[in-house]
Chains A and B, each alone.
Chain A
Amino acid sequence: MSAALDVRDLHVGVGAVPAVQGVSFALARGRRMGLIGESGSGKTVTALAIMGLLPDGLHATGAAVYDGDDLLTLPEDRLCKLRGDRLAMIFQEPMTALNPVMRMGPQVAEPLRIHRGLSRGDADQEALRLLERVQIPDAAEKMRAYPHQLSGGQRQRAMIAMAIACSPDLLIADEPTTALDVTVQAQVLQLLDHLVEEEGATLLLITHDLPVVAQICDQVMVMYGGRIVEVGETEAVFSQPRHPYTRGLLDAIPPIDRDLPDRHLKAIAGSVPGLGEFPSGCPFRTRCPRADEACLEMPAMAGNGHPVACWHPVG
């Protein structure tokens, strides 16, 4: 099966400061890939680079091949034809990603008008069907509402409705459930899961929340300091993490089914450095309990099936 998206040696720089360094991965069609990491790890910048939405001052090199075209070098007019149609993105903050002065109906219908050339009436009808599909209560009424009149969960669902309006091949969801309550989060995850299932789309789910990834992703990539440091099947990565950072993230989550001695979690030392403040060599070495002089040099990703970029992997 061919890859839905093939990212090769992606580098993104903010001026001379590297934000993403040599990221390569392939998304298999119809699969759900999780991309996890903390704020400042380069997850969102990776997604924006793929979508050709990097803000001014950031530049990407490498390749992101979709359907034979390199998205990084594709002219803007051709990218515009793809975005919102074949490629869709769900953004982190629905309040800032939605147009505050546009009613929800026309807003959800917009991709259909642009990419499918539907008439206003047909697009509205389709928008209503989409809002119902993402289970927005009183969808007909909500068509006339402005974004601020919707709850956070409803806004997030409306964004999903827009993103899936044209049945995209590739859906990138950046922290789609972070601001939501657990019960709404469960519904949104179920919705994303069904979309992949029913429409054969490919999902790249970006989050810092490991349990969320465990719910719906087949595979997971772990990112730190602008690099991918571990990749594997979700179950393998979470049950037998190999990178000390992944191990640390898993240990930092309070278990839901048992007590810890003295109510103490194993915490990772220090905090994520700011952009441009990561150490040379392995970006995690200043926080890593296993680091030694070998880590002054960045290790390559090694290992079959479940590769890791570490000189001293766990387990």
Chain B
Amino acid sequence: MSPASHDHPPGGVLFEVRGLARAYRLPRTSLLLPPRVLTAVRNVSFELRRGETLGLVGESGSGKTTLLRLMLGLEQPDAGRVVYHGGSLRRDVQVVFQDPASALDPRMRVADIVLEPLRVMRLRGDHAARLSELLRAVGLPEAAARRYPHEFSGGQRQRIAIARALASRPRVLLADEPVSALDVSVRAQILNLLEDLRVGYDLTLVLVSHDLSVVRHLCDRVLVMRAGEVVEAGDTRAIFRSPQHSYTRTLLESIPTLKKRRAASA
């Protein structure tokens, strides 16, 4: 372990999630049968503390993204509640999505993309200075401001999306599979950037990923989700060392590693 670079004193609770549930009605497959219901999230409770990095892991369909959308207020829960104990949720909580290509408007210049949250939220200040500061923070050249998203590589586009997320000086950054769409060599750059920004801007980070090694690398605490429920929660290192739930064990055993050769036939 390095010097206490990621040992945070237990901070105050920023998000309080209690008994959260959300279900979706599926399209009818028959006129005679009632429409089926997909329960995306059920009975999820947890707290997000200031300054921590929380990982959400689970397979596709486990409810990770729905949970993020509920936290952002993009969805209303069927039951339970999400309480944000900061100030303005809209301004304080920002998100970075998986695919930067579809998350950026192709007809807008980078400057307009990055500053749009400030305009939409009517935040005053020296926008030009803020733009330069944001581009510098995410490692993009000043000249990027006048260009369009398609002129950038995948990793650079993700940097643009991160700059936009940081524009309103959020306290919480939600990252939904932020490196899954990126090349291996670029992934490490973006993970390093997220960690630098977390420390530099005192961010609380929620990282959704199906890649357990990414979560193991960056997160203090982890929630393991399966079929809409949290099956295990706790300190990342403790969970990776001795998972308690059988599903967590299965997940961990399925991670391919560089050393585990031919485990399949063993």
In the complex, chain A residues whose CB is within 8 Å of the CB of B264? 186, 189-190, 193-194, 215-216
Distance (whole angstroms) from the CB of A129 to the closest CB of chain B: 22
On whether the beta carbons of B254 and A262 are closer than 8 Å, the reply is no
Distance (whole angstroms) from the CB of A184 to the closest CB of chain B: 8
Give residues of chain B (154-200) contacting chain A, Cβ–Cβ below 8 Å.
154-156, 183-189, 191-192, 195
Whether, in the assembled complex, B81 has its beta carbon less than 8 Å from a beta carbon of chain A, the answer is: no
Interface window among B19-27, B35-43, B210-218: B210-218
Contact flags B224-266 to A (C-beta < 8 A → 1, else 0): 0000000000000100100000000011011111111111110
The answer, among A38, A216, A256, for a CB contact under 8 Å with B184, is A38
In the complex, chain A residues whose CB is within 8 Å of the CB of B188? 251-253, 265-268
Interface window among B1-9, B99-107, B110-118: B1-9
On whether the beta carbons of A208 and B254 are closer than 8 Å, the reply is no
Distance (whole angstroms) from the CB of A248 to the closest CB of chain B: 6
Distance (whole angstroms) from the CB of B132 to the closest CB of chain A: 22
Whether, in the assembled complex, A55 has its beta carbon less than 8 Å from a beta carbon of chain B, the answer is: no
On whether the beta carbons of B217 and A186 are closer than 8 Å, the reply is no
Whether, in the assembled complex, B47 has its beta carbon less than 8 Å from a beta carbon of chain A, the answer is: no
Contact flags A176-216 to B (C-beta < 8 A → 1, else 0): 00000111111001100110010000000000111110111
Contact flags A26-51 to B (C-beta < 8 A → 1, else 0): 00000000000011000000000000
> Which residue in chain B gives the minimum CB-CB distance to A196?
B265
> Which residue in chain B gives the minimum CB-CB distance to A188?
B264
On whether the beta carbons of B257 and A211 are closer than 8 Å, the reply is yes
> Which residue in chain B gives the minimum CB-CB distance to A194?
B265
On whether the beta carbons of B254 and A186 are closer than 8 Å, the reply is yes
Distance (whole angstroms) from the CB of A216 to the closest CB of chain B: 6
- Known contacts: A193-B265, A254-B191, A271-B185. The answer to whether A181 contacts B255 by CB under 8 A is no
Q: Classify chain B's interface size.
A: 35 or more
On whether the beta carbons of A271 and B216 are closer than 8 Å, the reply is no
On whether the beta carbons of B258 and A193 are closer than 8 Å, the reply is no
On whether the beta carbons of A253 and B212 are closer than 8 Å, the reply is no
On whether the beta carbons of A208 and B184 are closer than 8 Å, the reply is yes
Give CA–CA (A31, B256) in the complex, Å: 20
> Which residue in chain A gives the minimum CB-CB distance to B256?
A211
In the complex, chain A residues whose CB is within 8 Å of the CB of B218? 254, 263
Contact flags A253-287 to B (C-beta < 8 A → 1, else 0): 11110011111111110011000000000000001
> Which residue in chain B gives the minimum CB-CB distance to A274?
B153
On whether the beta carbons of A267 and B185 are closer than 8 Å, the reply is yes
On whether the beta carbons of A259 and B2 are closer than 8 Å, the reply is yes
Give CA–CA (A299, B210) in the complex, Å: 39
In the complex, chain A residues whose CB is within 8 Å of the CB of B250? 183
Whether, in the assembled complex, A25 has its beta carbon less than 8 Å from a beta carbon of chain B, the answer is: no
On whether the beta carbons of B212 and A182 are closer than 8 Å, the reply is yes
- Known contacts: A182-B210, A212-B256, A253-B184. The answer to whether A267 contacts B261 by CB under 8 A is no
In the complex, chain B residues whose CB is within 8 Å of the CB of A181? 59-60, 210
Give CA–CA (A184, B191) in the complex, Å: 25
Give CA–CA (A263, B205) in the complex, Å: 14
On whether the beta carbons of B256 and A248 are closer than 8 Å, the reply is no
Whether, in the assembled complex, A82 has its beta carbon less than 8 Å from a beta carbon of chain B, the answer is: no
On whether the beta carbons of B216 and A152 are closer than 8 Å, the reply is no
On whether the beta carbons of A252 and B60 are closer than 8 Å, the reply is no
In the complex, chain B residues whose CB is within 8 Å of the CB of A39? 183
> Which residue in chain B gives the minimum CB-CB distance to A214?
B258
On whether the beta carbons of A262 and B210 are closer than 8 Å, the reply is no
On whether the beta carbons of B59 and A272 are closer than 8 Å, the reply is no
The answer, among B156, B186, B217, B263, for a CB contact under 8 Å with A215, is B263
Whether, in the assembled complex, A235 has its beta carbon less than 8 Å from a beta carbon of chain B, the answer is: yes
On whether the beta carbons of B192 and A265 are closer than 8 Å, the reply is yes
In the complex, chain B residues whose CB is within 8 Å of the CB of A214? 256-261
In the complex, chain A residues whose CB is within 8 Å of the CB of B210? 181-182
On whether the beta carbons of A210 and B184 are closer than 8 Å, the reply is yes
Whether, in the assembled complex, A146 has its beta carbon less than 8 Å from a beta carbon of chain B, the answer is: no
The answer, among B195, B213, B253, for a CB contact under 8 Å with A263, is B195
In the complex, chain A residues whose CB is within 8 Å of the CB of B153? 271-272
Give residues of chain A (109-145) contacting chain B, Cβ–Cβ below 8 Å.
none
Residues of B whose CB lies within 8 Å of any CB of A are 1-2, 5-6, 59-60, 153-156, 183-189, 191-192, 195, 210, 212-214, 216-218, 237, 240, 250-251, 253-265
Known: A182-B212, A189-B256. 14 other contacts (CB 8 A): A152-B60, A194-B264, A194-B265, A211-B260, A214-B256, A214-B261, A215-B260, A216-B262, A235-B261, A252-B184, A254-B218, A256-B216, A265-B217, A272-B185
Mind listing 19 A-B residue pairs with CB under 8 Å?
A182-B254, A193-B265, A209-B184, A210-B258, A214-B259, A215-B263, A235-B261, A251-B188, A253-B184, A254-B217, A254-B218, A260-B217, A262-B2, A263-B217, A263-B218, A268-B189, A271-B156, A271-B185, A287-B185
- Ranked 10 nearest A-B pairs via Cβ: A254-B217, A211-B256, A267-B188, A252-B188, A181-B59, A190-B264, A268-B185, A261-B2, A265-B188, A182-B254
Residues of A whose CB lies within 8 Å of any CB of B are 38-39, 152, 181-186, 189-190, 193-194, 197, 208-212, 214-216, 234-235, 238, 248-256, 259-268, 271-272, 287
